[in-house]
Chains A and B, each alone.
Chain A
Amino acid sequence: MTIRLLPEAIVNRIAAGEVIERPASVVKELVENAIDAGARRIEIVLANGGHNLISVTDDGTGMTETELALSIERHATSKLTDDSLQQIATLGFRGEALPSIGAAGRLTITSRTRNAASAFSISVEGSRKSEVMPASHPVGTRVELRDLFFATPARLKFLKTPQTELHHAVDVVRRLAMAHPETAFQLSDEKRSVLQLHANQGELFDTRAERLAQILGREFTENALPIHAAREGMTLSGYAGLPTFNRANARMQYFFVNGRPVRDALFHGAVRAAYQDLLARDRHPVLALFLEIPPERVDVNVHPAKAEVRFREAGLVRGLFVGALRHALHEAGHRAASTVSQVALGAFRPETPPVMTEGHAPACALNERAPAYRPRLPGTEAPHARPEAAGEDVGEATTDHPLGAARAQLHETYIVAQTEDGIVFVDQHAAHERIVLERMLEGLQANNVARQILLIPEVVEMTEAKAARVLERADELAELGLIVESFGPGAVAVREVPAILGDVNPQGLIQDLADDLEEFEDGASLRDRLNHVAATMACHGSVRAGRRLTADEMNALLRQMETTPHAGQCNHGRPTYVELKLQDIERLFGRR
């Protein structure tokens, strides 16, 4: 077989395979183009999950007649002005999207610039270009793609149901929309509008909050902490969910670099590190974080669809993430998610739902049973409350403290406190455990972790890449009491281990660490083990459920919670207290 140059149609089809995987990829490329063209309003229509038609219409700058003809040539772009890949400020730059899309289906582009007398249109069908022809269109660009993959039937077979493909497209648009709150987005299928996001005007931070609330739900913004941090020319902003507002997977974590949605293990690792010991390992916080970084310090040209990026100083970026999140979480102190009390309220429903007549407050219906009342069985007592304690405390100003004044202890496990505008229930064991743990960790850090030197340094063999990764973090590990050094290529010698781990196998510890570093770029397993020891000690050293507390003890606990960082959740991310606002209680009784 002789070597020959492939015809352009085939080249385009191969390139299309990389960029155009499914309708959602087309949507991504086209919407990115629209954003890069400065559009304020973008309309997306998908028919039959994008299979029959994908159309993206924007009100951006548009293209002239000549530009239009060039746009569908491979490696033609308006986005690289000085032939340098160092300064990429736009979402696109490869000049591959339109030709690739043209190779995958029947493409028509209609565009008009502000100064042009009329619009022009061009169409491509399986890489065959038509002439540029005058057309009618307002300022902006409209790209229509019909019969996706008609030229590559193999791809066609891999398409999922229209519903699934639509779902993917919606996900793509949601991600892009999060980063561009100033642009209105509308996505519809044949019948209805699936996603409708208005342009949010005003100051950047507020518009973003509004957009995030539209996309992720009001619940998120209410239970999230604003993040804002800058370091060495980089800025990180966005919102991070409270630890008690968590999910079973990391899918609700959105990361953006210079307005570009990316998925990168680095970010997930940093988040995990920041939320460590606030969340169980199998729970994940919800967050949307936006990193602004000078374009020359990040390489976006790694992945054809640009889902991954490379940072010149990955450690610095990671540090910024962990630092900013930690700081915000620390500031949040004892805040627990309001969803927790929503759940609690849900459980509070009276046994017979009150008969709601329209416009009426639930008046005492005559036929309603009194479900809350049950005759007391002989020999049982009402829950143990402490009337004497309550009596003493009535005078105390409850308004001074966020967690209020302790009123009673129920079942020797829960503290009931009265605040200015509600009630707080505290799980005494969980709360005290957290306080003891925080104190212990503080002590560990203040004292430096005591390190036991090994009699025989343990040599651990692993791949060279893993070893290098462990050694890169040697300083960080040293702070946690683990001293490692290089032992030739592909081997690490462990010289000292944290003393509180006792008789530990350094081999296993290092292997776990190396795996963690590989996957999450974060040595969570070491800190995990240290925290586990500390947590076990904390558990034994704290007030258990079932112990009667005096009013003074209860109040002391509440005051400590207010001053302890992360006191809103126990070591596993469960809440330590639930607050019910007076209005919620009033709602329960139908007073509102």
Chain B
Amino acid sequence: MKFTIERTALLKSLGHVQRVVERRTTIPILSNVLLSAEKGGLSLTATDMELSVVETLPADIGAKGQATAPAHTLYDIVRKLPEGAQIAFDYDAESARLGLSAGRSRFALSTLPVEEFPALSGDQFSHSFTLEAASLRNLIEHTSFAISVEETRYYLNGIFLHATENGSADVLRAVATDGHRLAQVEMPLPEGATGMPGVILPRKAVLELGKLMEEMSDPVEVGLSETRVRFTTADAILTSKLIDGTFPDYGRVIPTKNDKMLVVNRREFAEAVDRVSTISIEKSRAVKLGLAPGKLLLSASSEESGTASEELAVKYDAEPIEIGFNARYLLDIAQQIEGEDIELMLADASSPTLLRDLAEGSALYVLMPMRV
């Protein structure tokens, strides 16, 4: 195998695939990335057995062939090479070393046999459909923050993606929750997704997908089966196992009868919450929202630091109410809102509160209050 490639393109793709590779693994081959030089160009493959990413990029192929090399080392080398460098790769099968040269730098990386690299099973996908990059990004971006990181409730460690109905419209809906808050984003159901199984995309796949989607505008093809999902773009394929579990019946926790409506400017609200919560006890970060017609009083107190309060002018005309929240949760949600105003629908100090972007109707958030 022999090829030459431009540094910038390689760095970007390596950056994607090396993230899949775990820093510590008991299976040595999983620390390596598979390089395949083919007619169309170079493809890089990395996997942790759950998730795999294949990226293809143009290269000047001298001789076809395959080799594996330590992913993180390779990435670090390429990163440190000067910008604009042309990197020449040359695999010597006899010494099993991958030669790499650029300018006056020479590297010979030890490799592992290509045959050891796990072959990715060519799954049959029962459903496949196409999503606009922007729509897919919207689905995952606004829900991923609510994914639980607590590992024993594994079924919450991902985004629940499923087809359902909203009123009369068929929608594709993404939901994530950690038991304290919930985020839900939906879009019209794309063609081909009708009858798709509800699946839970694991957190790691969601994060990698987010990275891949960062500067992408092309449509993405999604393939689904009961156990796997595949996202295919023009030059990358991400395949992941799905979380085998039952996502809780989230529908019943989304309040429908909350009648106290509060509309507040997103930026003012987020900044005030952030300021006031400086006072509250680390970790719990409790802030209290005191509502009276036309105004919102944010306050926090802790035995150690003292008290803080800030008043905001808001749209509110229901009866006065006092309710506590975790400031971090409020800020997380405020960050998802793209429009100018947030709408909060409240019931009482112990019931779930519904939050929405006033400008954009596809997303909604549910937040459980805190007793302070």
Contacts and interface: CB of A to CB of B under 8 A. Distances in A.
Interface stretch (B202-210, B214-222, B276-284): B276-284
B370 to A, nearest CB: 5
A539 interface: no
Interface string B328-372: 000000000000000000000010100000000000001011111
Among A440, A446, A500, A503, max chain B CB count under 10 A is at A503
A499 B304 contact: no
A453 B283 contact: no
Nearest to A443: B303
Given A439-B304, A505-B153, A451 B248 contact: no
Interface in B264-299: 281-286
Contacts of A395: none
Given A455-B180, A455-B181, A458-B179, A450 B284 contact: yes
B223 interface: no
A371 interface: no
A502 B285 CA distance: 10
Interface in B120-159: 148-150, 152-153
B111 interface: no
B184 to A, nearest CB: 12
Nearest to B349: A453
Contacts of A454: 179-180, 368
Contacts of A248: none
A235 interface: no
A421 interface: no
B182 interface: yes
B328 to A, nearest CB: 9
B313 interface: no
A443 B304 CA distance: 7
Nearest to B303: A443
A453 B284 CA distance: 12
Nearest to A537: B282
A537 B283 contact: yes
A462 to B, nearest CB: 16
B352 A505 contact: no
Interface in A437-465: 439-440, 442-444, 446-448, 450-456, 458
A451 B284 CA distance: 9
Contacts of A452: 180, 284, 326, 368, 370
Contacts of B246: none
B253 interface: yes
A450 B153 contact: no
A503 B368 CA distance: 13
A58 interface: no
A442 B303 contact: yes
B178 interface: yes
Contact of A456 (B150, B253, B284, B301): B253
Contacts of B372: 447-448, 450
Contacts of A448: 372
B370 A451 contact: yes
A443 B281 contact: yes
Contacts of A507: 152-153
Interface of A: 439-440, 442-444, 446-448, 450-456, 458, 496, 498-500, 502-508, 533, 537
12 contacts: A444-B281, A450-B370, A452-B180, A452-B368, A455-B368, A456-B177, A456-B248, A499-B286, A503-B178, A505-B150, A507-B153, A533-B283
Given A450-B286, A505-B153, 14 more contacts: A447-B303, A447-B372, A452-B284, A452-B326, A453-B368, A453-B370, A456-B248, A458-B179, A496-B371, A498-B284, A499-B326, A506-B179, A507-B152, A508-B152
